[in-house]
Amino acid sequence: MVDFWTVSLAFVVVVLYIWWKNTTRDATLPPGPPTVPFLGNLLSVSPETMLDKFQEYRKKYGDVFSLITGSRILVVINGYETLREIFIKHGDKTSERPDHFLTRDVGQFKGTLWKEHRTFTINALREFGFGKRSLESRIIEEIEVFVEEIQNKKGEPSNIHSLINVCISNIICSINFGQRYHHDDEKFRTLLDAVNRNLSNENVMFLATILPFVKYIPGDPCRIKKVLENQRLVEEHLRQLVKEHKETYDENTPRDFIDVFLKKMIAEKNNPSATFDDDQLLKIIVELFVAGTETASTALRWFSLFMIRHPDVQDKMRKEINDIVGTSRFPNMEDKPKLPYCEAVIHETLRVGAIVPLSIPHGLTNALDYKGFTIPKEAILVPNLHSVLFDEAIFPDPHSFKPERFLDKEGTLQNTEKVLIFSLGRRVCLGEALARMEVFLFASSLIQRFRLLPGDETIPEEKGVTGVTYAPRDFFLRAVNV
CA distance 209 to 344: 36
Q: What is the pLDDT of residue 24?
A: 58
DSSP 3-state of 393 = coil
Three-class SS state of 31: coil
pLDDT of residue 274: 84
CA angle, 71 then 72 then 75, to 5°: 150
The pLDDT of residue 111: 64
Give the pLDDT of the chain (482 residues) as one tens digit per residue: 456 566 566 556 555 555 455 555 678 999 999 988 767 888 777 777 889 999 999 999 999 999 998 778 999 999 999 999 999 999 999 988 887 545 544 444 556 787 888 889 888 888 877 766 678 999 999 999 999 999 999 999 999 999 999 999 999 999 888 888 888 888 888 888 888 887 776 566 666 666 666 666 666 666 677 888 888 888 998 999 999 999 999 999 999 999 999 999 999 988 888 889 999 999 899 888 888 888 999 999 999 999 999 999 999 999 999 999 999 999 999 999 999 999 999 999 999 999 999 998 999 999 999 999 999 999 999 999 999 999 999 999 999 999 999 999 999 999 999 999 988 988 888 888 889 999 999 999 999 999 999 999 889 999 898 877 899 999 999 999 99
Residue-level pLDDT at 467: 76
Produce one character per residue of 427-455: b if its CB has 16 or more CB atoms within 10 Å, e if not: bebbbebbbbbbbbbbbbbbbbbbbbbbb
**What pLDDT score was predicted for residue 106?**
46
H or E stretch covering 186: helix 186-200
**What is the pLDDT at residue 124?**
86
Of the candidates 268, 278, 281, the residue with the CA atom closest to the CA atom of residue 124:
281
CA–CA gap between residue 300 and residue 438 (Å, rounded) = 9
Q: Is there a contact between 472 and 301 (Cβ–Cβ < 8 Å)?
A: yes
**173 close to 139: Cβ distance less than 8 angstroms:** no
- Among left, alpha and beta (phi > 0; psi -120 to 50; other), residue 326 is left
- Determine the Cα–Cα distance for residues 411 and 294; give it in Å rounded to an integer: 31
Q: Which of 277, 283, 276, 197 is nearest to 238 (CA)?
A: 283
Q: How far apart are CA 171 and CA 435, in angstroms?
A: 10
Distance in angstroms (rounded) separating the CA atoms of residues 393 and 398: 9
Residue 429 annotated as lining a ligand binding site:
yes
Taken in order of first residue, the domains within the chain and their CATH numbers are 102-364+399-481 (1.10.630.10)
Give pLDDT, residue 201.
66
Q: What is the pLDDT of residue 381?
A: 96
State residue 131's pLDDT score. 62
